[in-house]
Amino acid sequence: DWVMGDYVAEAVTRIREQVGAEEVILGLSGGVDSSVAAALIHRAIGDQLTCVFVDHGLLRLNEADMVMEMFAGKLHAKVLRVDASELFLRELAGVIDPEQKRKIIGRLFVDVFKAEAEKLKAARPGHRGVRFLAQGTIYPDVIESGGAKSKKAVTIKSHHNVGGLPEQLGLQLLEPLRELFKDEVRELGVVLGLPREMVYRHPFPGPGLGVRILGEVKKEYADLLRRADAIFIEELRASIDPESGESWYDLTSQAFAVFLPVKSVGVMGDGRTYDYVVALRAVQTSDFMTADWAELPYALLKKVSSRIINEVRGINRVTYDVSSKPPATIEWE
């Protein structure tokens, strides 16, 4: 019988055997896999683990603070927060092509992480220098990189993966989640004391808001989008479907706001407004290969729309995306 508590004890022993007295570095993204890997490795080796959290400025509202509070605050793990948002925004200025944006974000991410890893590789007083790179690779990732993906004739979107990084850095790999499916990773996260909201979060793409701001990425746009998106998510969590007793957040597989850099005319009080548009996207899917747009209750959409327009100055129109995948994709870019 599969008991998660026993699994933790076993995994902790294995990690300790593999790592010995060496030091480990891990790239924390705020996503489920790297979070659970960090919590597990921290349970095993404590301060021999250093997490590096690269903030690219394209995260959701308060996300960076929440990650720091959880790992540095609650778990007392060593976390280096690297604020690289200015670098990312500078390199993205003027770039409108989605694939180009993905490439830039992916490359900068690796550059910033590598620079931190190089610093940590050197021995310091009281430290031997990092010898291991930990990654939250899970079983489906292992299968995917085994070739199934290469059968696809056309690449619709290039998801950056960090292949080859351990070799480039001269570090050994530590992948304690390699044998686990997503559901098991989530269960493990809960056993390790991570909050359920973190462990059962919707997936968030690596390039973050970079692919949810159509065309050129600007700080002004990211700030507006973050606030609209946070309102949408808050209301999805608060709205309970009476039939199932579950929240609309849990009844959808992914939900978010998209920033459209077009202006439309509105009226507020006795004044005319000329402001940006936000699209809401919510989908239900089992594999993210195909997806249906979610039939959210009108009352919920109404509340989200009026809150966004009233609370986020700069947005005066909200639309709901009723496109399924295919032919649309889940993200707009």
Binding-site residue positions: 29-35
With H, G, I as helix, E, B as strand and everything else as coil, classify residue 268.
strand
Nearer to ligand XMP, 153 or 156 (CB): 156
Nearer to ligand XMP, 58 or 304 (CB): 58
Q: How far is CA 18 from the centre of its chain?
A: 28
The least CB distance from residue 260 to ligand XMP, in Å, is: 16
Q: Does 144 bind ligand XMP (CB under 6 A)?
A: no
Nearer to ligand XMP, 227 or 281 (CB): 281
Q: Determine the Cα–Cα distance for residues 112 and 117; give it in Å rounded to an integer.
A: 9
The least CB distance from residue 246 to ligand XMP, in Å, is: 20
Q: Which residues contact 157 (CB under 8 A, 6 or more apart)?
A: 98, 99, 102, 329, 331, 333
b/e for 22-41, b at 16 or more Cβ within 10 A? bbbbbbbbbbbbbbbbbbbb
**In the range 149-168, which residues lie near ligand XMP by CB under 6 A?**
156-157, 159
| The one-letter amino acid at 54 | V
Q: Does 78 bind ligand XMP (CB under 6 A)?
A: no
The least CB distance from residue 184 to ligand XMP, in Å, is: 19
Site string for ligand XMP, 91-110 (x = CB under 6 A): -----------x--------
* Selection from 183, 99, 167, 111 nearest residue 135 by Cα: 167
Binding-site residue positions for ATP: 29-35
Q: What is the CA radius of gyration of the chain?
A: 21
Nearer to ligand XMP, 189 or 208 (CB): 208
Q: Does 145 bind ligand XMP (CB under 6 A)?
A: no
| Beta-strand relationship, 271-284 and 292-293 | antiparallel
- On whether the CB atoms of residues 171 and 131 are closer than 8 A, the answer is yes
The least CB distance from residue 253 to ligand XMP, in Å, is: 8
Q: Total number of residues binding ligand XMP (CB under 6 A)? A: 15
Q: Determine the Cα–Cα distance for residues 240 and 281; give it in Å rounded to an integer.
A: 18
**In the range 187-216, which residues lie near ligand XMP by CB under 6 A?**
203, 205-207, 211
Nearer to ligand XMP, 27 or 205 (CB): 205
Nearer to ligand XMP, 119 or 149 (CB): 149
| Interface pick for ligand XMP out of 34, 48, 239, 254 (rule CB under 6 A) | 254
Task: Give CA separation, 6 vs 34, 43, 83, 86, 190, in Å.
Answer: 21, 14, 38, 44, 14
Nearer to ligand XMP, 321 or 331 (CB): 331
Q: Does 174 bind ligand XMP (CB under 6 A)?
A: no
φ, ψ of residue 330 to 5 degrees: the values are -70, -55
Nearer to ligand XMP, 151 or 269 (CB): 151
In DSSP notation, 26-74 reads EEE-SSHHHHHHHHHHHHHHGGGEEEEEEE-S-SPTTHHHHHHIIIIII
The least CB distance from residue 56 to ligand XMP, in Å, is: 12
The least CB distance from residue 283 to ligand XMP, in Å, is: 8
Q: Does 330 bind ligand XMP (CB under 6 A)?
A: yes
Would you state the structure tokens that stand for residue 164, as one six-digit string? 């080859």
The least CB distance from residue 176 to ligand XMP, in Å, is: 21
Total count of residues recorded for the chain: 333
Q: Does 57 bind ligand XMP (CB under 6 A)?
A: no
Q: Which residues bind ligand XMP (CB under 6 A)?
A: 102, 156-157, 159, 203, 205-207, 211, 254, 288, 325, 329-331
